[in-house]
Homo-oligomer: A and B are copies of this chain.
Amino acid sequence: MDKDRTVFEQGLVAVKGNQIIAVTDGKDVENYKAKTTIDAEGDIVMPGLINTHTHVSMTVFRSLAEDVPDRQYRYIFPLEKKLVSRDMVRIGAQLGNVEMLKGGVTTYADMYYFEDEVARTVDKIGMRAVLGQTVIIFPVADAANAEEGIQYALNFIEEYKDHPRITPAFAPHAPYTNSTEILQKVTELSLQHNVPVMIHLAESDREIEAIAERSGGKSPVAYMADIGALTPNLVAAHVIYVDDNDIALLKKHDVGIAHNMRANIKSAKGVSPAMKMQQQGLRIGLGTDGPMSGNTLSTIDEFNQVAKVHKLVNKDRAAMPPIKVIEMATIGAARALHMEDTIGSLEKGKLADIIVIDTKAPNMVPVYNPYSALVYSAYATNVKHTIVDGNMLMEDRNMLTVDETAIREEALAFADKVRKTVIESGEIIQ
């Protein structure tokens, strides 16, 4: 995954410290002396995956209240009001981090509460992340209102602004759950502090109606452009309900896009025109959405559906070929987060975020074309090793920097609390 999309049948990747210093066909192997050598022996070596949109801590709510109408307002927001805490955020993030690393995700973009807790788990496990502190109009676990959310975010940004692997960010929930003034203030502060802004955009009927009412009939994207909230710092998740004019605005303002196919069709929202946005050169990458929406957190789980649902809706079996999916999972996702200068490909000078995919699992035999094999056949569990910032974090499917069993047990104990709190009381019917 370099500029020319080179595939080496045999090759080597040389790493020094946290950087890639060479990617070659391996004929010059004698020129390198390594402390550690990983023999990938026929497996696929590729850039670490970048998950451009999730809510990692929600792993502890996974498989609750599936497929119910008006799920966000009837179940998710009340559940969060009752159960989100520093502990919940930490416990859920720990589990989600393990799941992502085991599924080949080396960098992720998160939007949630108590993001300083998420940051501590990311720091400890050794991943890379863009962490967005939520700003929302109603009272939530870590703020009484949007102003308090902004203040929380500013403190968080101050604490983590110099972290080598963590990028702190603002995460206004959505246009319809914030006022124009708050959206403008967040935009201004993000430019001032040079940090990303992550938002849910053009995602739901409710949003379309609320924004049309607020703006005299404008689309969410056009409204955001009007109020000055479309900037190169913005990463917009979902982007389903957009027309050509909206897409032009997103391109003009160099906005990053997170495409979350599995979550979007699960809620029957529709299919984002991601293919068109990719073809027009927009910054677009894959995301899984949170585990109450997309359920699992490796973008490998998106590959099959992204390739196929675009074929279905475009009535064209040649649409969204495997290489385009892999681009959205790697360099495209890096571009969506404006991080393409440092991650998203295996090239000299880039950070050493590298994964190795096992090609010996029966579902991966044989590999005539690595892109097709990855997109149509691979499971997240086919990831064999995950390296972030030059450090091996998962080797032969074993976590090296955290205790997976202890993390699972803490998550299961929290799930028991969820059962006692909202399931046994009948608030959520399973």
* Distance of A286 from chain B, by nearest CB (Å): 15
Q: Is the CB of A415 within 8 A of B368?
A: yes
Q: Is the CB of A366 within 8 A of B305?
A: no
Tell me whether A82 is interfacial, beta carbon within 8 Å: no
Tell me whether A30 is interfacial, beta carbon within 8 Å: no
Q: Is the CB of B317 within 8 A of A69?
A: yes
Which residues of chain A from 66 to 93 have a CB within 8 Å of any chain B CB?
66-69, 71
Q: Is the CB of B377 within 8 A of A62?
A: yes
Please give, as numbers and ranges, the residues of chain B lying within 8 Å of A66 by CB-CB distance: 321-322, 369, 372, 376
Within the assembled complex, what's the spacing in Å between the Cα atoms of A230 and B262? 37
Please give, as numbers and ranges, the residues of chain B lying within 8 Å of A418 by CB-CB distance: 366, 368
- This protein's copies in its complex: 2
Please give, as numbers and ranges, the residues of chain B lying within 8 Å of A430 by CB-CB distance: 368-369
Please give, as numbers and ranges, the residues of chain B lying within 8 Å of A369 by CB-CB distance: 63-64, 66, 430
Please give, as numbers and ranges, the residues of chain B lying within 8 Å of A271 by CB-CB distance: 312
User: Can you list, as one digit per residue, whether each of A288-307 has a CB less than 8 Å from chain B (1) or not (0)?
Assistant: 00000001111001001101
User: Can you list, as one digit per residue, whether each of A89-123 has a CB less than 8 Å from chain B (1) or not (0)?
Assistant: 00000011011001100000000000000000000
User: Can you list, as one digit per residue, whether each of A345-371 has a CB less than 8 Å from chain B (1) or not (0)?
Assistant: 000000000000000111101111100
Q: Is the CB of B309 within 8 A of A309?
A: yes
Which residue of B is nearest A96, CB measured? B362
Which residues of chain A from 109 to 157 have a CB within 8 Å of any chain B CB?
none
Tell me whether A419 is interfacial, beta carbon within 8 Å: yes
Q: Is the CB of A296 within 8 A of B412?
A: no
* Distance of A375 from chain B, by nearest CB (Å): 9
Please give, as numbers and ranges, the residues of chain B lying within 8 Å of A314 by CB-CB distance: 268
Tell me whether A198 is interfacial, beta carbon within 8 Å: no
Interface centre among A297, A304, A319, A366 (most CB of B within 10 A): A366
Q: Is the CB of B267 within 8 A of A317?
A: yes
Tell me whether A379 is interfacial, beta carbon within 8 Å: yes
Dominant secondary structure at the A interface: helix
Interface centre among A266, A312, A322, A380 (most CB of B within 10 A): A312
Q: Is the CB of B268 within 8 A of A365?
A: no
Q: Is the CB of B363 within 8 A of A262?
A: no
Within the assembled complex, what's the spacing in Å between the Cα atoms of A62 and B314? 24
Q: Which 7 A-B pairs have the closest CB atoms?
A: A366-B415, A99-B362, A295-B376, A63-B372, A381-B381, A265-B312, A268-B317
Tell me whether A318 is interfacial, beta carbon within 8 Å: yes
Interface CB pairs A-B, < 8 A, 12 = A62-B366, A63-B369, A63-B377, A64-B369, A68-B317, A95-B362, A99-B363, A296-B363, A304-B305, A309-B309, A362-B408, A368-B423
Please give, as numbers and ranges, the residues of chain B lying within 8 Å of A379 by CB-CB distance: 379-381
Q: Is the CB of B376 within 8 A of A265?
A: no
Within the assembled complex, what's the spacing in Å between the Cα atoms of A60 and B312? 26
* Distance of A98 from chain B, by nearest CB (Å): 5
